A = this chain, B = another copy of it.
Amino acid sequence: MNRALAGKKIVIIGLGLIGGSVARALKKMDLGCKVYAVGRNTKILEQALGDGNILGWSADVKDFCTDADLIVLGMPVLSIEHNLQALAPVLAPHTVVTDVASVKGAVVEAAQRVFGTVPVNFVPGHPIAGSEQSGYTASKPDLYHGRKVILTPLAHTNAEAVELVAQLWKAVGAEVLMMSVEHHDEVLAATSHLPHLLAFALVDTLSHQGTREEIFRYAAGGFRDFTRIASSDPQMWRDIFVTNADATIGILDEYMQDLQRVRELLVTRDADELFNTFKRAKASRDVFLSFSKHQNPKHPE
């Protein structure tokens, strides 16, 4: 048993894919912690209660959060500020708060606006796990198995608070890594935010074609994989792009320069340089797969 979590009262605000998967994993691991949920979707919360994944739920943060050991904010980036505002009057000094949003700079700024300075027990975090599906019904207990969770504590963040949040993620099967807020947002702009933008844009471009239905009719598995992330939650991704716009624009501009270069190779039918580009890309992806296999042996390619 993970002693760090035994007996702890954990409140998940926002029981979607991420929060719901935490609740399911904690229940399955049987760590002896008491998990509650706060949210607005009565039907989902009743379902989670019926599933035995939470001990109780409320629409009001005051009901469980006042004496919580750990609060997990499970909502998209732009919804964090008003949840922190609701929490501020009832938050006990010892209560550790973490979040799961995909952009960390905006979350830190929201905490600064609400509290004046970011509380020492607030630990910004981001599980690199997800799916193009969303909501509690898509959540699953093994979502975090073999996945990475990045925590981005500030210089003054309480080390014990960081440790408690790290224990939570380790308990549900993840590997925990530390990174600065700024670095996190740049790395994720490249590896996650840009690919999502490209996939959304591609499906949008093709859907403007007069022969949309026909085009989709002849698309194959490669297209399905390539555009899978374009089925992701529009609200969550709106929030990510609005709050991580600068880092995304930076890597998008580099990408568009690369596309212009490749376009020129098409115009000139430069077979050799096209071959070199594809060969280099294939080799680079093999490097990525070697990391990926190592870190996530349950999902071999």
Main secondary structure, interface of A, reads: helix
CB <8 Å contact, B238 and A285: no
Query: Is A147 at the interface (CB under 8 A from chain B)?
Result: yes
Report the separation of the CA atoms of residues A285 and B201 in the bound assembly, to the nearest whole angstrom.
11
Per-position binary interface string of chain A over residues 210-225, scored 1 when its CB falls under 8 Å from any chain B CB and 0 otherwise: 0111111111111111
CB neighbours of A289 from chain B (8 A): 224, 231
Q: Which of A252-269 contact B (CB under 8 A)?
A: 252-256, 258-260, 262-263, 265-267, 269
Query: Is A53 at the interface (CB under 8 A from chain B)?
Result: no
Query: Is A1 at the interface (CB under 8 A from chain B)?
Result: no
Query: Is A284 at the interface (CB under 8 A from chain B)?
Result: yes
CB <8 Å contact, B226 and A281: no
Per-position binary interface string of chain A over residues 169-204, scored 1 when its CB falls under 8 Å from any chain B CB and 0 otherwise: 000000000000000000110111011111111111
Copies in the complex: 2
By beta carbon, the residue of chain B nearest A262 is B201
CB neighbours of A197 from chain B (8 A): 259, 262
Report the separation of the CA atoms of residues A256 and B129 in the bound assembly, to the nearest whole angstrom.
29
A292: contacting residue among B224, B242, B258, CB under 8 A = B224
CB <8 Å contact, A206 and B234: no
Query: Which of A39-47, A81-89, A92-100, A272-280 forms contacts with chain B?
Result: A272-280
CB <8 Å contact, B190 and A194: no
A222: contacting residue among B192, B206, B267, B285, CB under 8 A = B192
CB neighbours of A205 from chain B (8 A): 251, 254-255, 258
Q: Could you list 17 examples of A-B contacts with CB < 8 Å?
A: A130-B220, A130-B222, A131-B221, A148-B220, A191-B219, A195-B202, A200-B262, A201-B255, A201-B258, A203-B284, A203-B288, A204-B281, A208-B254, A227-B288, A230-B281, A231-B285, A234-B279
The 7 closest A-B pairs by CB, nearest first: A234-B278, A207-B284, A216-B288, A191-B219, A203-B281, A238-B275, A234-B279
